[in-house]
């Protein structure tokens, strides 16, 4: 099963892309930081597993990622810009509240929380690769990535940030754009988590604590439940259990 690629223009003129696979009830899946839809959802078969259950899988490349533009104009990085892009994409696609599902991995989970907190109403939600502290302590994580960008061309194998920098280089991240994007993320407010009045799956690797405790996040959601899968923050994306957990959760209704 192959994916098609589509483009649209956000309200500030930035051209963004999404990838699509399958037919049926729509589900939006958002990728992680410095990744893209192809690597996060298509390469390892997750999207195909979900599409095979009779789903239209919609996978945006977030601003500054993948096939979407990565502008270096600071005026194009207002607070919460990714959640605004998500809201506009939902409108562009004509998706109806309660008739689509929404989830994401890491940054995608953060963007999902922001979007639901600001009024998006999917039928079901999935927060993958995320714990409670990852949503409420962004400053510490941002400092790590900003430092990595400072050391983008000098980091050596064995340095604490070497793997993150190597991944960003592999993904052809534009450092100047990423530096502008990072401060736009906002810690989750309590009322944002309270807004998850829909079945909500926290899907996280058993060795993944990069974003804190996933059980604490599940407990903080009105209808949250933890679905453990094998792996660390990086390796869980490569394992078939991630896509299967998403497909099973959606199929459960």
Say if residues 165 and 154 touch (Cβ distance below 8 Å): no
With a cut of 90, say whether residue 85 has pLDDT above it.
yes
Q: What is the pLDDT of residue 7?
A: 98
Write the pLDDT tens digit of every residue in 27-76.
Answer: 999 999 999 999 999 999 999 999 999 999 999 999 999 999 999 999 99
Q: What percent of the chain has pLDDT over 90?
A: 95
Q: What is the pLDDT of residue 171?
A: 95
Instruction: Provide mean pLDDT across the span 179-184.
Output: 96
Domain spans, the chain: 4-137+185-251
| Of 210, 30, 78, the residue nearest 138 (C-alpha) | 210
Q: What are phi and psi of 60, to 5 degrees?
A: -70, 150
For residue 213, the SS3 value is coil
Q: What is the pLDDT of residue 29?
A: 98
Write the pLDDT tens digit of every residue in 132-176.
Answer: 999 998 988 899 999 999 999 998 999 998 999 999 999 999 999
Q: What are phi and psi of 182, to 5 degrees?
A: -55, -45
Domain covering 4-137+185-251, topology: Rossmann fold (3.40.50)
Q: How far apart are CA 167 and CA 149, in angstroms?
A: 12
Q: How far apart are CA 17 and CA 107, in angstroms?
A: 17
Looking at the DSSP bridge assignments, the partners of residue 30 are: 104
Q: What is the pLDDT of residue 38?
A: 98
Say if residues 194 and 218 touch (Cβ distance below 8 Å): no
Say if residues 206 and 129 touch (Cβ distance below 8 Å): no
In terms of DSSP bridges, do strands 224-229 and 200-205 run parallel, antiparallel, or are they unpaired? parallel
Q: What is the pLDDT of residue 253?
A: 72
Q: What is the CA radius of gyration of the chain?
A: 17
Q: What is the pLDDT of residue 1?
A: 82
Q: What is the pLDDT of residue 140?
A: 86
Residues 6 or more apart in contact with residue 160 via CB below 8 angstroms: none
Two tokens, residue 176: 């100047």
Write the pLDDT tens digit of every residue in 189-247.
Answer: 999 999 999 999 999 999 999 999 999 999 999 999 999 999 999 999 999 999 999 99
| Of 191, 214, 188, 212, the residue nearest 203 (C-alpha) | 214
| pTM (2 d.p.) | 0.96
Q: How far apart are CA 45 and CA 20, in angstroms?
A: 13
């Amino acid at each position: 099963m192959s994916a098609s690629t589509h483009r649209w223009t956000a309200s500030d003129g930035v051209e963004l892309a999404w990838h699509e696979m399958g037919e049926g009830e729509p589900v939006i899946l958002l990728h992680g930081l410095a990744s893209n839809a192809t690597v996060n959802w298509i390469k390892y078969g997750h999207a195909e597993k979900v599409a095979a259950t009779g789903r239209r899988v919609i996978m945006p490349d977030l601003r500054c990622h993948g096939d979407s533009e990565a502008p270096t104009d600071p005026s194009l990085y207002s607070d919460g810009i990714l959640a605004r892009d998500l809201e506009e994409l939902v409108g562009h696609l004509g998706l109806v509240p309660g008739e689509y599902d929404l989830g994401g991995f890491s940054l995608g989970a953060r963007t999902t929380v922001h979007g639901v907190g600001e009024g998006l109403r999917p039928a079901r939600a999935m927060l993958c690769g995320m714990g409670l502290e990852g949503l409420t302590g962004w400053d510490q994580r941002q400092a790590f990535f900003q430092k990595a960008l400072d050391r983008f061309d000098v980091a050596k194998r064995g340095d604490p940030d070497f793997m993150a920098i190597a991944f960003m280089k592999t993904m052809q991240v534009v450092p100047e754009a990423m530096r502008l994007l990072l401060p736009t993320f906002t810690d989750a407010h309590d009322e944002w988590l309270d807004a998850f009045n829909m079945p909500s799956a926290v899907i996280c690797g058993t060795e993944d604590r990069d974003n804190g405790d996933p059980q604490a996040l599940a407990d903080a959601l009105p209808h949250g439940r933890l679905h453990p899968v094998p792996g660390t923050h990086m390796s869980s994306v490569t394992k078939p259990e991630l896509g299967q957990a998403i497909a099973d959760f959606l199929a459960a209704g």
